[in-house]
């Protein structure tokens, strides 16, 4: 039987978090499960999924270079429930087992009954979270409209805007910079320059 290749991943979201405890626990789990072949620690916000260490981990999974991903806690592996579920599903598709060591969560890619139950529960929570976000957004937009706020960028230039567009373009500004300076969309700025 081949030795499982383990990757550990830990993200500290703030500079004051000390990764030492998580590092020790993850290394102990890796030693118990197989051989540690990839250890990633990074600092940064979980609000971004383009973290370099995270990308490296997911690429290793896609290439079949690892068999297990061990994290200390679920919230270290995804920005939201939706994101976490997507990340776990991507690992499962790649045939990689996922475990959150401090929470006793173990999701196997072969679809055993407990893993399917856990993923189904996470999917339900993710769907609930998506619906809440959608509802909050809808209510916020409706409240803004009721209070008379105009949503989006203006579709027409203010007085003297066409001259300002021409001057900014002559000064070598990009369309995005021109649109920002005048306070309209890039398309409105381009239309003004074409007239």
Q: Does an H or E element contain 7, and which?
A: strand 4-12
Would residue 174 show up in a list of annotated catalytic residues for this protein?
Answer: no
CATH number at residue 53: 3.40.50.1390
The answer to which of 41-50, 110-119, 145-154, 183-192 has the lowest mean pLDDT is: 41-50
Residues 105, 168, single domain; the answer is no
> How many domains does the chain fold into?
2
> What is the pLDDT, as a whole number, of residue 47?
53
Residues 6+ apart with CB under 8 A from 139: none
Q: How far apart are the C-alpha atoms of 146 and 27, rounded to whole Å?
A: 55
Residue of higher predicted confidence among 38 and 178: 38
Residues 105, 170, single domain; the answer is no
> How would you list the strands of the sheet with 68-71, edge to edge?
34-43, 4-12, 68-71, 97-100, 105-107
The answer to which of 2-11, 59-68, 150-159, 166-175 has the lowest mean pLDDT is: 150-159
Residues 111, 172, single domain; the answer is no
Q: How far apart are the C-alpha atoms of 17 and 91, rounded to whole Å?
A: 27
Residues 108, 169, single domain; the answer is no
Kindly name the residue from 13, 45, 155, 174 that is annotated as catalytic: 13
| Single residue among 75, 108, 125 that ends a domain in this structure | 125
Query: Does pTM top 0.75 for this prediction?
Result: no
Residues 52, 106, single domain; the answer is yes
Average pLDDT of span 99-120: 81
Residue 144 falls within a domain, yes or no?
A: no
Residue 97 falls within a domain, yes or no?
A: yes
Average pLDDT of span 10-29: 78
Residue 68 falls within a domain, yes or no?
A: yes
Query: What pLDDT, in 10s, does the model give residues 135-161?
Result: 998 898 888 889 888 776 655 677 777
Residues 113, 174, single domain; the answer is no
> What is the pLDDT, as a whole number, of residue 95?
94
> What is the pLDDT, as a whole number, of residue 56?
95
Residues 116, 37, single domain; the answer is yes
> What is the pLDDT, as a whole number, of residue 141?
87
Q: Which domain holds residue 173?
A: 161-194
Residues 56, 10, single domain; the answer is yes
Average pLDDT of span 5-30: 82
Residue 154 falls within a domain, yes or no?
A: no
Residues 115, 30, single domain; the answer is yes
The answer to which of 55-59, 76-80, 105-109, 174-178 has the lowest mean pLDDT is: 76-80
Residues 103, 166, single domain; the answer is no
Residue 57 falls within a domain, yes or no?
A: yes
Indicate if the pLDDT at residue 83 is higher than 90.
Answer: no
Residues 54, 119, single domain; the answer is yes
Average pLDDT of span 33-40: 94
| Single residue among 125, 147, 170 that ends a domain in this structure | 125
């Amino acid at each position: 039987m081949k030795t499982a290749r383990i990757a550990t991943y830990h993200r500290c979201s703030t500079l004051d978090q000390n990764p030492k405890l998580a590092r020790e626990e993850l290394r102990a789990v890796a030693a118990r499960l197989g051989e540690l072949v990839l250890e990633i620690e990074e600092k940064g916000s979980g609000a971004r999924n383009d973290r370099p260490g995270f990308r490296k981990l997911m690429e290793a999974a896609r290439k079949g270079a690892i068999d297990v991903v061990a994290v200390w806690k679920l919230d270290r592996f995804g920005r939201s429930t939706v994101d976490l579920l997507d990340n776990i599903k991507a690992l499962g598709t790649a045939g990689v087992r996922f475990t959150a060591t401090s929470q006793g969560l173990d999701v196997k890619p072969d679809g055993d009954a407990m893993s399917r139950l856990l993923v189904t529960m996470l999917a339900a929570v993710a769907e609930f979270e998506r619906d809440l976000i959608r509802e909050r957004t809808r209510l916020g937009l409706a409240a803004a409209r009721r209070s008379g706020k105009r949503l989006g960028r203006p579709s027409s230039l203010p007085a003297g805007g066409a001259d300002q567009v021409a001057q900014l373009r002559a000064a070598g500004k990009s369309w995005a910079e021109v649109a920002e300076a005048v306070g309209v969309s890039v398309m409105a700025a381009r239309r003004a320059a074409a007239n």
